[in-house]
A and B are shown apart, each in its own frame.
Chain A
Amino acid sequence: MNLPSKLLAIDTATKSIYLALLIDGKTVDSISQEGESNHSVTIMPLIDQLLIKQQLQLNQIEGILVGIGPGSYTGVRIGVSIAKMIAYLNSIELYSFSSLALLASCSESMNILSSIDARRGNAFLSTYQQTNGILTVVNQDQLTNLETFKAGLSEVHDLITEGMPKIEKLINSNLIYQVADVHALVPNYLQITEAERNKAI
């Protein structure tokens, strides 16, 4: 995929805000900052700092990469809203990626289990195989019981729940997807709301 030169990557699906600035395919700066359910407060000041350090302004960014979950509903909505707005206002390309794939990029192991807590023993999770720094999806993003899923794995996996992601690894692994219609992008929640479930019963 031919990517624009100046890219901003955003992910807010976990406890940490991840931001990265890429120029000509290289990460020139990145932040992974753990927050206390206050991503909405800190994300724009963090983006501002990141840009100032490179003497860039927001409207000079040429493409946005955004994690669309699965993960914290409120968290992922903040990142997706911001990414959609930046892409829309500047008429630039928007690319989405799985927030679990981003987590997997933290690991150097061969077998990786990415997991984001979904309460009551459940997790948003997926597994990957890594060869020469290239990630391949083995089990797609899903919402399931973590312990049951782990028990079903035949090989030892590196369980990743936090860390310092490397967005370049996702790009090199072809795990980013061009968004055709910026307006239509929504988070990947992986499940309908409780109200919709109760109605269906």
Chain B
Amino acid sequence: MIVLGIETSCDETSVALVKDGKTVLSNVVLSQIDIHKEYGGVVPEIASREHVKGVTLVFDQAIKKAGLKYSDVDLVAVTEGPGLIGSLLIGVSAAKVIAMNYQIPLIGVHHIAGHIYANNLEREIEFPCLALVVSGGHTELILMKEHFDFQKLGETQDDAVGEAYDKIARVLNLPYPGGPQVDKLSAIGQDRYNFPRPMIDTNDYNFSFSGLKSHVINFHHNMVQRNEEINNADFARSFQEAVTDVLVQKTSKAAKEYQVKQIIVAGGVAANRGLRAKMLERITFVPVYFPSMQFCTDNAAMIAAAGYFKYQKTKLVSDYYLNADSRLKLQ
């Protein structure tokens, strides 16, 4: 089954063709990162404008790269949410046109389901499976007993982990996007500041990063006030160690309690080298998998894969009234 995936939830316009939920035939990503860099973050109106500008060209590159015709497509899968509403709408509108033009079934996909299924593109997911979803908008532990069955064990009570990373990067005057910069810098630093590990020992699977974020920002501010020399690398490392300690500890605990066969890490922060290393070092009783770097960030191949399994499981397709939902819940 050939699935055409479409992802436009934030600042990447992406179209992919994927066979049977696992074989990527093409995955074209038009990134706007250089445009938003100048503003220190994604500007929603600019993102929407760029999506409408690039949309048909991305489709054209994806279908040509796959060596297919649109009439070869069996299912159209599109990110319906969550994300920036103006951006989501471009993808959803384009998806409906393809579906109507070629009479192909259409299915809406949750963005996070996509990130989870990015893992299936390189290795088939085995169940029960624990997914740690970490990105600029999400920090969640999800238990999957079978395909397209998501049981949320816990989530952040405030900031997403990627959000905290971006704020810390800003304090350290690092360019956008800050997460990868903090990760890079921390590789050459020492954990000297011993920042708190929020909620590390609580008896649940929830997270909180807003307190840590404020603590680190205040700590930095006070050092500046006292004219103390700040080693950015040590600072980044100390923050990263605090965050990853919590993520790894809770993931490990959940994996034991639910006796999962594997752990998969999903979302943009899955690309974080510090997190990858610590997960593999501390969790040895069960395999831990990460998508390769190209599938960690937003892409349409993961949406096509998720769409395939959603269709296999539910056989439910959307009609042309499919709407984008910026706050869609994962079900």
Contact = CB atoms under 8 A, between A and B. Distances in A.
Interface residues of B, number: 35
Interface residues of A, number: 35
B89 A40 contact: yes
Interface string B95-112: 011101110000000000
B320 A48 contact: yes
Contacts of B217: none
A199 interface: yes
A194 interface: yes
Given A42-B321, A74-B86, A89-B70, A183 B56 contact: yes
Contacts of A81: 51-52, 55, 89-90, 93-94
Q: By CB atoms of chain B within 10 A, which of A44, A58, A189, A199 has the most? A: A44
Contacts of B57: 183
A89 B97 CA distance: 9
Interface in B64-103: 70, 85-86, 89-90, 92-94, 96-98, 100-102
Interface in B298-331: 319-324
B48 interface: yes
Nearest to A196: B46
Contact of B56 (A38, A40, A47, A84): A84
A188 to B, nearest CB: 12
B100 A193 contact: no
Prevailing SS type, chain B contact patch: helix
A44 B320 CA distance: 6
B96 A44 contact: yes
A187 B100 CA distance: 23
A201 interface: no
B215 interface: no
A121 interface: no
Contacts of A74: 48, 85-86, 89
A152 interface: no
A17 to B, nearest CB: 12
A20 interface: no
15 contacts: A40-B89, A44-B93, A44-B96, A58-B101, A77-B49, A81-B89, A82-B96, A85-B55, A85-B59, A85-B94, A88-B60, A89-B98, A90-B101, A183-B56, A189-B49
Given A44-B97, A77-B90, 16 more contacts: A40-B324, A44-B321, A45-B321, A48-B100, A48-B320, A73-B45, A81-B51, A81-B90, A81-B93, A89-B101, A183-B57, A184-B53, A193-B45, A195-B39, A195-B43, A196-B46
